[in-house]
A and B are shown apart, each in its own frame.
Chain A
Amino acid sequence: MPCIEARGLRKSFGTTIALDGIDFRVEEGRILGLIGPNGAGKTTALNAILGLTSYQGELRVLGRDPWNEREQLMRDVCFIADVAVLPRWMRVSQALDYVAGVHPRFDRPRAEGFLSKTAIQRSSKIRELSKGMVAQLHLALVMAIDAKLLLLDEPTLGLDILYRKQFYDSLLNDYFDHQRTIVVTTHQVEEVQNVLTDLMFIDRGRIVLNSSMEEFEARYAEVTVHPERVAAARALKPLHERQVFGRSIFLFDRVDRQQLAGFGEVCTPSIADLFVAVMSNHRGTPQGVAL
């Protein structure tokens, strides 16, 4: 059974189409990055998976219909939106008590263990914590829940670089076990490049690219082309071409690396560069792209 399966998933708000009948499938044990410009439909897709919004089409999450079975589904699904959603009036100890009270799969000692590695005081109110500490607290709560699917919507937005690094480190070291599934949307693509197992680009409610990271690495190559070989390289129809410090950098799709090596230094592109290339081809101009 796939963890998430969507067929013809569609959602519109008035005349704005947020999701334009997309199909996708996320297998168990994957870490999927959902990347797209603002307003691409990422959050709508997550909300549909979480049962927070109604939709047309077919969607099964862990075999359930999220819109009609949110309560049962939330025993196996965890969600961190952005750091601001923990209630600011609550005390840390109350947050622990409450989650322990309502969640049958919450392991309180485990959460306490994660918290003891931070500077968070049990008696503090959430409004007194820094943004990074709120993220640590939310992550500690979520990592102590024995869930099957974790959804992260811009989890590190507004955090400084130390907290951001630590966030993904703890997620990989203390949480991910190859049975759990993680779906993450983020604009900070560089941070998740080495974390993801799968990649999906979404734009204007449609899926523009859907690939595993192995496939991504095999398929795309970035070449810093020697000036005298530019014309030859261009003949192979690169996906994208850009200039950095007067040097031409070409991005190729499904071109033999042996052949490319003749043009210059070959490497795997960053997700960010591929994103820009794919989006500018898809849209004509890379307008509205926020990375």
Chain B
Amino acid sequence: MNSQPNAASGLLNPSPVAPAAPSETRPLYWSVRRELWEYRSIYIAPLAVAGLALVGFLIATIGRALTSPDLVQRRLILAQPYTFATALIMASTFIVAIFYSLEALHAERKDRSILFWKSLPVSDTTTVLSKASIPLVVLPVLTIAITLATQWIMLLLSTLVLIGTGMSPATLWKQLPMFQSGLIYHLITVHVLWHAPVYGWLLLVSGWARRAAFMWAVLPVFALCGLEKIAFNTTYLTALLKYRLSGPEVFDMAEPGRFPMGAMAHHALGTYLTSPGLWLGLIATAIFLAAAAWQRRRQGPI
């Protein structure tokens, strides 16, 4: 440990730091990385699910498809897990996104580290945006990347099996790209843009609630729905909530046993982009995030 001379020269020449043009994106970039360090489940959970799906697929391929005497049956076994594996990975990132959003602005108050973060030149807006980017950018991108990778591995495996047994893998190869573009479209239009206000709301509540953020996020909404039903015997709020959570109707077209969300969904892009629900949702997201940043400025440890 011969750092003595270094320290001494540092003393005489106090840190010649060039105050480089304080880039606005650098703090945002490092804040997002910080989130990935703290919440490793963001990438571990979907990777683990993808790994499990592949193990399951391997067992299905070797155990069932290769031993099945019926060729049609064999093809079905190989085609079926794509949707299921995709649904599993998407479900895992969805759950991670919900729990992350409920924790994100709460944990730093609880462990008092908010005092440390606030002692650095990072604005509250940057912090809130970095946290919002996890469910709105990072998790969707990860979902797409991991799902596509899983599907390509599955495609290669099934191709080997099909060719090995003298069948053509052409249908699979033809269907998969369409399925994948449909999947990406679905993720962006529903899981990101349509659900954005849900994540905005969860983040806002996570910063606000001193404890039991989940309860504060959910119960008041239920209470309001109940109040509306009792007072006016109407269910507009419930319908609104259902509409928000299930996504615009046009996407509920997945049929079992088929690759869903294909060309049909693309036709609906125009309808989707002009639906007021999309834009009102995005405005609500912006309001929730702005409120979360406003609130963080006033908050300290709990």
Asked if A74 and B121 sit within 8 Å, CB to CB, the answer is: yes
Asked if A105 and B19 sit within 8 Å, CB to CB, the answer is: yes
Give the size category of B's interface with A. 35 or more
Q: How far is the CA of A71 from the CA of B296 in the complex (A)?
A: 13
Other-chain residue from A53, A88, A89, A101 in contact with B30 (beta carbon distance below 8 A): A101
* CB of A99 within 8 Å of the partner chain: yes
Q: How far is the CA of A47 from the CA of B29 in the complex (A)?
A: 27
Q: How far is the CA of A185 from the CA of B188 in the complex (A)?
A: 51
Q: A102-B121, A104-B121 are in contact. Are A90 and B37 (CB under 8 A)?
A: yes
Residues of B within 8 A of A110 (CB): 6-7, 10, 15
Other-chain residue from B10, B14, B26, B108 in contact with A102 (beta carbon distance below 8 A): B26
* CB of B220 within 8 Å of the partner chain: no
Chain A, 92-139, CB within 8 A of any chain B CB: 94, 97-99, 101-107, 109-110, 112-114, 116-117
Asked if B118 and A98 sit within 8 Å, CB to CB, the answer is: no
What does the 1/0 interface line of B1-28 toward A look like (CB < 8 Å)? 1010011001100111101101000110
* CB of A276 within 8 Å of the partner chain: no
Q: State which of A34-42, A76-84, A227-235 sits at the interface with chain B.
A: A76-84
* CB of B112 within 8 Å of the partner chain: yes
Supplied contacts A81-B119, A94-B37, A117-B7, 6 more A-B pairs, CB within 8 Å = A50-B118, A75-B121, A77-B119, A87-B116, A109-B6, A146-B15
From B22, B29, B38, B120, residue with most partner A Cβ within 10 Å:
B120
CB distance from A96 to the nearest CB of B (A): 12
Q: How far is the CA of A103 from the CA of B112 in the complex (A)?
A: 20
Asked if B3 and A104 sit within 8 Å, CB to CB, the answer is: no
Q: A101-B30, A177-B14 are in contact. Are A85 and B115 (CB under 8 A)?
A: yes
* CB of A209 within 8 Å of the partner chain: no
Q: How far is the CA of A146 from the CA of B18 in the complex (A)?
A: 10
Q: What's the A-B contact tally at a CB cutoff of 8 Å?
A: 111
Q: How far is the CA of A177 from the CA of B112 in the complex (A)?
A: 31
Q: A87-B38, A113-B7 are in contact. Are A104 and B120 (CB under 8 A)?
A: no
* CB of B122 within 8 Å of the partner chain: yes
Chain B, 114-170, CB within 8 A of any chain A CB: 115-116, 118-123
CB distance from B109 to the nearest CB of A (A): 11
Q: How far is the CA of A174 from the CA of B14 in the complex (A)?
A: 10
Residues of B within 8 A of A117 (CB): 1, 3, 7
Q: How far is the CA of A77 from the CA of B121 in the complex (A)?
A: 9
Residues of B within 8 A of A114 (CB): 7
Q: How far is the CA of A248 from the CA of B98 in the complex (A)?
A: 68
Residues of B within 8 A of A94 (CB): 34, 37
Residues of B within 8 A of A74 (CB): 118-122
* CB of B174 within 8 Å of the partner chain: no
Other-chain residue from B26, B33, B113, B119 in contact with A87 (beta carbon distance below 8 A): B113
Asked if B30 and A105 sit within 8 Å, CB to CB, the answer is: no
Asked if A75 and B14 sit within 8 Å, CB to CB, the answer is: no
CB distance from B23 to the nearest CB of A (A): 9
Chain A, 194-236, CB within 8 A of any chain B CB: none
